Structure 1
Amino acid sequence: MPTKSFAQFLLIGASCAVLAACSGSSVNSPGEENQVPPPPTGGGGGGGAQTLNLIPSAGCPSGTTSSTEAVSFSGGSADVTACRLTGNLTSDVTVPANATVFLSGAVFVGSDAGATGGNNGPTLTLEPGATVMGQSGGDYIVVPRGSSIDAQGTATNPVVMTSAQDIVEQRLGTPREFFSGVRGEWGGLVLNGRAPINACIDGTAAGGTADCQKSGEGSSGLFGGGDPADSSGTLSYVQVKYAGFRVNNTDELNGIAFQGTGSGTTAEFIQVHNNTDDGIEMFGGATNLRNVVLTGIGDDSLDYTDGWTGNVQFALVVHAPDDSDQGFEFDNNGDDNDALPRSNPTISNFTLIGQRASSASDAGMLLREGTAGTLANGIVVDFNETCLDIDQAATFDQAAAGNLSLQSTLFDCPTNFGDEAGDPAANTPSAFFAKDPNNVATTNTLADTYFPGPAELAVTPVDPTTLGSFFTAADYIGAFSPSESPSSSWAAGWTFGLFADPDCPTNTTATGELINGQEVCRLTGTLLDDTTLTGGFAYELVGAVFVGRDAGADPASPTANAREVNLTIEPGATLFGSSGGDYLVVTRGSSLNSNGTANRPVVMTSRADIEGTQPNPLTARGEWGGLVINGRAPINACIDGTATGGSVNCEKSGEGSSGLFGGATADDDSGSLSYTRVQYAGFRVNNTDELNGIAFQGVGSGTDVNFIQVHNNSDDGVEFFGGTVNAKHIVLTGNADDSMDYTDGWTGKVQYVIVQHAVDDADQAFEFDNNGDANDALPRSNPTISNFTLIGQRASSSSDYGMLLREGTAGRLMNGIVVDFNDACLDIDQSATFNQAAAGNLGLESTFFDCPTNFEDESGDPAATQPSALFAAGANNVTGTTSLEGFSFITDMSANNASGVVPAPAGPEAGVTAIDPSTVDAFFDSVTYIGAVENAADTWYQGWTLQQQ
Structure 2
Amino acid sequence: MAKNEKFVSTIVLSSLTAALLTLSGCGSSSSSSSSTPTPTPTVEAELYDGSGALDAMERHVANDGVISATTFASPVTTALPAPVAPTRDAAAQAAATVLTGDIIVDTTLDAATLWKINGLVKVKDGATLTIEPGTVIFGEAGANYIVVTKGSKIIADGTEASPIIFTSATALLNPADAAPAQWGGLTVLGGAPTNHDAPFYEVDETDADFAFGAATAGAGDAADNSGILRNVYILNSGKEVATDLEINGLSLAGVGSGTVVENIYVENSSDDCIEIWGGTVNVTNATLKNCNDDSLDLDYGYVGTADNIVVEQVNAAHAGFEISSGGDTPMTGAEIKNFRIVKVDGSDEGGIYIKDDSTAPIFGNGTVTTVGALDAGIHTKKAFVADQKGQIAFRNVTLTASVDFDGSGAADVQEKFEAQGGTISLPAPVAPTRDAAAQAAATVLTGDIIVDTTLDAATLWKINGLVKVKDGATLTIEPGTVIFGEAGANYIVVTKGSKIIADGTEASPIIFTSATALLNPADAAPAQWGGLTVLGGAPTNHDAPFYEVDETDADFAFGAATAGAGDAADNSGILRNVYILNSGKEVATDLEINGLSLAGVGSGTVVENIYVENSSDDCIEIWGGTVNVTNATLKNCNDDSLDLDYGYVGTADNIVVEQVNAAHAGFEISSGGDTPMTGAEIKNFRIVKVDGSDEGGIYIKDDSTAPIFGNGFVTAPGIGDAAIHTKKAFVADQKAAIAFKDVYLK
Distance 1:693 1:604 in 2: 24
Query: Per-residue displacement from partner, 1:686-732 (whole Å, max 9, x unpaired)?
Result: xxxx999996389643678899778xxxxxx99x9x9x999999988
1:556 aligned residue (454, 459, 462): 454
Matched, 1:380 2:373: no
1:251-266 mapped onto 2 (5 Å cutoff): 251-266=245-260
Distance 2:105 2:443 in 1: 73
Distance 1:153 1:236 in 2: 6
Partner of 2:413: 429
Larger Rg, first or second structure (1 or 2) = 1
Report if aligned partners of 2:513, 2:529 keep a CA contact under 8 Å in 1: no
Report if aligned partners of 2:319, 2:348 keep a CA contact under 8 Å in 1: no
SS at structure 1 position matched to 2:387: helix
Partner of 2:54: none
2:423 aligned residue (435, 440, 453): 440
Q: CA deviation at 1:188?
A: 0.5
SS at structure 1 position matched to 2:454: coil
SS at structure 2 position matched to 1:278: coil
Distance 1:194 1:274 in 2: 29
2:96 aligned residue (61, 78, 82): 82
Partner of 1:364: 352
Distance 1:135 1:286 in 2: 32
1:225-374 mapped onto 2 (5 Å cutoff): 225=214, 226-322=220-316, 324-333=317-326, 337-338=327-328, 340-355=329-344, 357-360=345-348, 362=350, 364-368=352-356, 370-374=358-362
Q: CA deviation at 1:164?
A: 1.4
SS at structure 1 position matched to 2:156: strand
Change (3 A) 1:243 1:186: same
Distance 1:251 1:709 in 2: 56
Change (3 A) 1:814 1:213: closer
Partner of 1:94: 108
Report if aligned partners of 1:546, 1:584 keep a CA contact under 8 Å in 2: no
Matched, 1:34 2:84: yes
Q: CA deviation at 1:100?
A: 3.9
Partner of 1:916: 704
2:200 aligned residue (202, 214, 223): 214
Partner of 2:137: 132
Report if aligned partners of 1:348, 1:377 keep a CA contact under 8 Å in 2: yes
Report if aligned partners of 1:148, 1:233 keep a CA contact under 8 Å in 2: yes
Report if aligned partners of 2:349, 2:379 keep a CA contact under 8 Å in 1: no
Distance 1:404 1:698 in 2: 38
Query: Per-residue displacement from partner, 1:119-156 (whole Å, max 9, x unpaired)?
Result: x41323141x3222111121111111232222223334
Distance 1:385 1:185 in 2: 28
Q: CA deviation at 1:263?
A: 0.8
Change (3 A) 1:937 1:344: closer
Amino acid corresponding to residue 370 of structure 1 in structure 2? S
SS at structure 2 position matched to 1:103: strand
Amino acid corresponding to residue 184 of structure 1 in structure 2? A
Query: Per-residue displacement from partner, 1:254-312 (whole Å, max 9, x unpaired)?
Result: 11111111111111121222212222111121111111222222222222222222111
How many residue pairs match? The answer is: 496
Report if aligned partners of 1:379, 1:409 keep a CA contact under 8 Å in 2: yes
Report if aligned partners of 1:274, 1:295 keep a CA contact under 8 Å in 2: yes
Distance 1:786 1:385 in 2: 38
SS at structure 2 position matched to 1:627: coil
1:718-733 mapped onto 2 (5 Å cutoff): none
SS at structure 2 position matched to 1:123: strand
Distance 1:267 1:275 in 2: 18
1:670-689 mapped onto 2 (5 Å cutoff): 671=579
Q: CA deviation at 1:193?
A: 0.9
Partner of 1:408: 396
1:106 aligned residue (120, 130, 141): 120
1:509-658 mapped onto 2 (5 Å cutoff): 556-558=454-456, 561-562=459-460, 590-591=511-512, 627-631=528-532, 633=534
Partner of 2:195: 198
Change (3 A) 1:319 1:417: same
Report if aligned partners of 1:633, 1:665 keep a CA contact under 8 Å in 2: no
Distance 2:110 2:523 in 1: 47
Change (3 A) 1:731 1:184: closer
Distance 2:330 2:154 in 1: 27
Distance 1:730 1:167 in 2: 48
Distance 1:549 1:175 in 2: 53
Report if aligned partners of 2:103, 2:121 keep a CA contact under 8 Å in 1: yes
Partner of 1:399: 388
Unaligned runs of 5+ in 2: 1-78, 215-219, 464-485, 493-509, 515-521, 537-545, 548-552, 558-571, 599-606, 649-667, 678-690, 710-718, 728-746
Change (3 A) 1:299 1:632: same
Amino acid corresponding to residue 347 of structure 1 in structure 2? I
Partner of 1:620: none
Q: CA deviation at 1:91?
A: 3.6
1:768-917 mapped onto 2 (5 Å cutoff): 916-917=704-705
SS at structure 1 position matched to 2:120: strand
Change (3 A) 1:146 1:935: closer
Change (3 A) 1:417 1:283: same
Partner of 2:474: none
Point out the structure with the larger strand share: 2
Partner of 2:736: none
Report if aligned partners of 1:419, 1:430 keep a CA contact under 8 Å in 2: no
Q: CA deviation at 1:936?
A: 8.5
Distance 1:148 1:527 in 2: 69
CA RMSD of aligned residues (A): 5.6
Q: CA deviation at 1:327?
A: 2.0
Report if aligned partners of 1:142, 1:191 keep a CA contact under 8 Å in 2: yes
Amino acid corresponding to residue 195 of structure 1 in structure 2? A
Report if aligned partners of 2:442, 2:459 keep a CA contact under 8 Å in 1: no
Distance 1:122 1:315 in 2: 28
1:123 aligned residue (112, 115, 129): 129
1:135-150 mapped onto 2 (5 Å cutoff): 135-150=140-155
Identity %: 22
Distance 1:108 1:223 in 2: 14
SS at structure 2 position matched to 1:217: helix
Matched, 1:696 2:596: no
Partner of 1:659: none
Distance 2:118 2:636 in 1: 63
Distance 1:312 1:30 in 2: 15
Change (3 A) 1:164 1:506: farther
Distance 1:551 1:83 in 2: 76
Amino acid corresponding to residue 405 of structure 1 in structure 2? A
Change (3 A) 1:326 1:709: closer
